[in-house]
Amino acid sequence: MKIVFLAAGLLLVAAAHASPPTDWMQAPGATAEFVDEPVFGGRVALYRAGPLVASRGADAVVLVHGLGQNGAKDWSKLIPALASRYTVIAVDLPGFGQSDRGNHLYSPDNFARVLEAVLAPRLKRPFALIGHSMGGAVSLAFAAAYPQRVSRLILVDAAGVLHRSVYAEFIARASAQRYIGMDSPWFTQVVRLIQYRAENLPLRAELALERAGVRQRVLRGDPNAIAAVALLEHDFSAAIRDLAVPTLVIWGAADTVAPLRTGQALAASIKGARLTVLEGAGHAPQLEFPARFNPIVLEELDGQQLAAPPYALPAGPIRDTRVGRCDGAPWQELAGDYERVVLENCPDVRIADARIGYLRSVNSSVRVVNSHIRDGIDAKASRVELTGVVLRGSLVLDDSNLDAAGTRFESPYAVASNTGETQVVLRLSVSQLSPPGNAPRGLHDVFRIPPGEMLIR
């Protein structure tokens, strides 16, 4: 099924054992137990290490794993580093590791409810929450649902934040590069076909998730598949917009499961969030490079990174009247302040950490990251990708498509207008419409604008 393909980029095979072992923890005071959880009516494996919360007023750190058979074992190289100073609690989420599993709706919201049910009797004070991959998404959902419970949030290569169409394109590109090469004449066609299928699923994923019988037929009742699809269907726009807890985003620069763009969108959208990128690391930096990863986490928990500036480019006037131009040159990079940027026949332009008055793109492709655009974008025969951008002016598209993640549209008028003769497509992930004087609204969907029409939300 097409819906299963979308989740395939996140899936591993899960395995179960008779009892929760602790030999992999290698930390002082390591214990494990099964505890009841009321959400799915089963038992979850709960692991502890370090001093008790009641002794010496030890602070607590909760670890939430991602997809796959390992469950909490994905934290095996971090737990010993934390346990000398912190009470560490790691859990095998329902359906994973040693916990009970079944044909249940393993969604981020339900996982958050499980965590609260298990943690509430054991942790009375706010705790630091660290989530990896799917666990990062679950941690986002938990912090949104129980904000008073979390003192600090660390998101590690969080998966499932981008819209499923955007994620499908990412997976398609990675697969095409691996199997047919970027130079193949079929590369673009393969990517677009997979993306089109992701946008036009004949069976709505909500139906497959909500009904046990359909989950069994379509997803074989497999917790990995159910959790992966639920992750791709979840809209985190409101959670990201309203989050107020101190947040650090850690990302592997070479992640081929959750793109770095996701981390940039999160860090730009969460108030005051910071971003640390580990060069050479893939999707699990806590396992690949613990000597680099663990000190970053410890410094964050100790409050030593609070002086670091937030990732999002702060608002401010454009302090330069220069005009940035590109004419027929690929792979150009721009940064800083520009009154205007004009691109003509320029593929793969990257603009980062910039304040721009007006952006015009003709027959070009451009990625804009962590930037502000004051007077709008005019794109003709172009592909525009925005990540962590604040767009205040108009968005005029002519035979052009837009992919925006973690972007705030502040225009008092339409989100976008199509001045061309062909339909244009907007793929919006965890973005928001925030016109002056109005409450912000989430934008997490695919929109198609016919010729001569506007998108007004």
pLDDT in tens, 318-328: 999 999 999 99
Distance (Å, whole) CA 157 – CA 252: 7
**For residue 215, what pLDDT band results from cuts at 50, 70 and 90?**
confident
- pLDDT tens string 253-309: 999 889 999 999 999 999 999 999 999 999 999 999 999 999 999 999 988 766 678
Q: Which of 129-133, 282-286, 306-310, 311-315 has the lowest mean pLDDT?
A: 306-310
Q: How far apart are CA 92 and CA 51, in angstroms?
A: 21
Containing 152, the helix (H) or strand (E) segment is strand 150-156
Residues with Cβ within 8 Å of 404's Cβ and at least 6 positions away in sequence, in order, are 385, 386, 387, 389, 426, 427, 428, 429, 431, 443
Beta bridge partners of 33: 46
Does residue 394 have a pLDDT over 70? yes
Domains identified in the chain and CATH numbers: 2-161+233-301 (3.40.50.1820), 323-455 (no CATH)
pLDDT at 182: 43
Burial 196-215 (b: 16+ CB within 10 A, else e): ebbbeeeeebeebbeeeeeb
The arithmetic mean of pLDDT across residues 346-353, rounded, is 98
Per-residue pLDDT, 239:
93
Exposed (0-12), middle (13-18) or buried (19+): which is 22, by Cβ within 10 Å?
A: middle
pLDDT tens per residue across span 30-72: 899 999 999 999 999 999 999 875 444 468 999 999 988 899 9
Please indicate whether residue 126 or residue 182 has the higher confidence score (pLDDT): 126
> Is it the case that residue 197 has pLDDT exceeding 70?
no
Mean pLDDT rounded to a whole number for the chain: 87
pLDDT at site 168: 81
Residue 3 banded pLDDT, cuts 50, 70, 90: very low
For residue 355, name the pLDDT band (cuts at 50, 70, 90).
very high
Strand partners, 395: 377
| Pair 206, 105: CB distance under 8 Å | no
**Does residue 189 carry a pLDDT above 70?**
no
Contact 374, 338 (CB under 8 A): no
In angstroms, how far is the first alpha carbon of the chain from the final one?
33
Residue type, 178: R
- 383 DSSP β-pair partners: 365, 401
Residues 386-400 have a mean pLDDT of 96
pLDDT at position 28 over 90: no
Q: What pLDDT score does 181 carry?
A: 47
pLDDT at 263: 97
Listed in sequence order, the residues at least 6 apart from 307 whose beta carbon sits closer than 8 Å to its beta carbon are: none
pLDDT band of 365, cuts 50, 70, 90: very high
User: Taking the model in full, what pTM does it have?
Assistant: 0.89
Element (H, E) at 281: none
Which of 1-5, 50-54, 138-142 is predicted least confidently?
1-5
Tell me what the mean pLDDT of segment 65-86 comes to: 93
